[in-house]
Chain A
Amino acid sequence: MSEPHDLPVDWPAGVHRALTAAGVSLVGYVPDAGHKRLIELCHADPTIRAVPLTSEGEGVGLAGGAWIGGARCALLMQSSGVGNLMNALGMARECRLPLAVLVTMRGEEGEANPWQFPVGRAAPALLAEMGVEVTRAETADAVVPAVEAALGRIYSGRDPGDGSAMAAVLIAQRVIGVKRFQVEETR
């Protein structure tokens, strides 16, 4: 018999509700398997415009343009995409753009692709160095509260001494599951 806390937590639905509750009407993303369900929920929601990007940095321009136009935009990406964000974050910081970045992690336990390790490992430090407040969600039930807190911080007034209103939530790879690489033997 399973206890309620053993049920799988539907964090994508919770994150979707949190985005809507915070008034986010634009979501920019580069797809990641870990964000698959959340991306589908955003596309299905008539109050959200989900915008696929060719590269993660585009999302900062999208969010900046949305913000000066009076709209709120959140970004979804995998950890490798954090490496593509850097100069764009300079713009966001100088302009004090509120920016919510939800990152599904690669390069953690169980990772089968060694090319994911370098940026995966560096992502928290890269974000922090650019002035982004970083929170990690190690378990499925920690994701939604972390996202709610991040959205609350960036949209509810800003610390004038800080000069930044950017927050990232890093969702641990163990929450997402490990990408399988199935190779057929050819002989």
Chain B
Amino acid sequence: MSALIPPSPDRPSPPRLHRREAVAALLEGRGDLLVVAGLGAPAWDCAAAGDHALTFSLWGGMGLAAMTGLGLALARPHRRVLVVTGDGEMLMGLGSLATVAVQAPPNLSIVVLDNERYGETGMQPSHTAHGVDLAHVARGCGFAVAATVVASKDLLGLRASIHQGAGPIFAVVKVHAETLPLVLPPRDGAMLVERFRKALQE
């Protein structure tokens, strides 16, 4: 069976959210929140919600978003840290879910915007299109909270958990496979780093 064959039609596709709306809802009134945006569409979604000195946007390092969030959460235990990434990026860093769960940082949340596609490279189905359940993986790694969100009414609760809940928190947000206008964050990595460090010292 070719990996390019779309998922079986007999598997009902779950309801889905629009990614830009979901990210805007999660980042609304972000306050002290520190954000790591995984490469590709999640970074564009975060930029569309408003470029911010305390959003570290990755343009590479695929698979490292969760680990970057872990390093930040351990360095800043009194700040809340949110990683926003995609299913393909998370799949490349599955081991990091085990690493994060073992460290169990109470101030870290990981949100995977799951469109079941490699959206930047031609919308090829990812493993999640074939049934791989990232929330289940996270639970198996030891995340106390690992949920899949398919309804916009649940975003408010997820946002509250990101700001106040006992982490580490893992959530998959099922989103449409849609191609949206690019909203790009700055792409100079050294600048993004220095901007972030400076903003944290202020």
- A residues near B (Cβ < 8 Å) are 25-26, 49, 51-55, 57-71, 73, 87-88, 90-91, 94-97, 163
Judging by beta carbons under 8 Å apart, are A61 and B190 in contact?
A: no
Judging by beta carbons under 8 Å apart, are B189 and A69 in contact?
A: no
Among candidates A52, A53, A67, residue contacting B193 with C-beta atoms closer than 8 Å:
A67
B88 interface residue per 8 A CB criterion: no
CB neighbours of B200 from chain A (8 A)? 68-70
Rounded to whole angstroms, the CA-CA distance of A73 and B93 in the bound complex is 20
CB neighbours of B34 from chain A (8 A)? 69
Judging by beta carbons under 8 Å apart, are A65 and B103 in contact?
A: no
B90 interface residue per 8 A CB criterion: no
B118 interface residue per 8 A CB criterion: no
CB pairs A–B below 8 angstroms (5 shown): A61-B63, A62-B68, A62-B70, A67-B71, A91-B60
Output the nearest chain A residue to B54 by Cβ-Cβ distance.
A68
Rounded to whole angstroms, the CA-CA distance of A63 and B61 in the bound complex is 12
Interface size class of B (residues with CB under 8 A): 35 or more
Among candidates A26, A91, A95, A96, residue contacting B74 with C-beta atoms closer than 8 Å:
A26
- B residues near A (Cβ < 8 Å) are 34, 36, 56, 58-76, 93, 95-96, 98-99, 102-103, 189-190, 192-193, 196-197, 200-201
Rounded to whole angstroms, the CA-CA distance of A138 and B99 in the bound complex is 33
Output the nearest chain A residue to B97 by Cβ-Cβ distance.
A54
Judging by beta carbons under 8 Å apart, are B62 and A66 in contact?
A: no
Question: How many whole Å from A101's CB to the nearest CB in chain B?
Answer: 15
CB neighbours of A59 from chain B (8 A)? 67
Among candidates B59, B62, B72, B102, residue contacting A69 with C-beta atoms closer than 8 Å:
B72
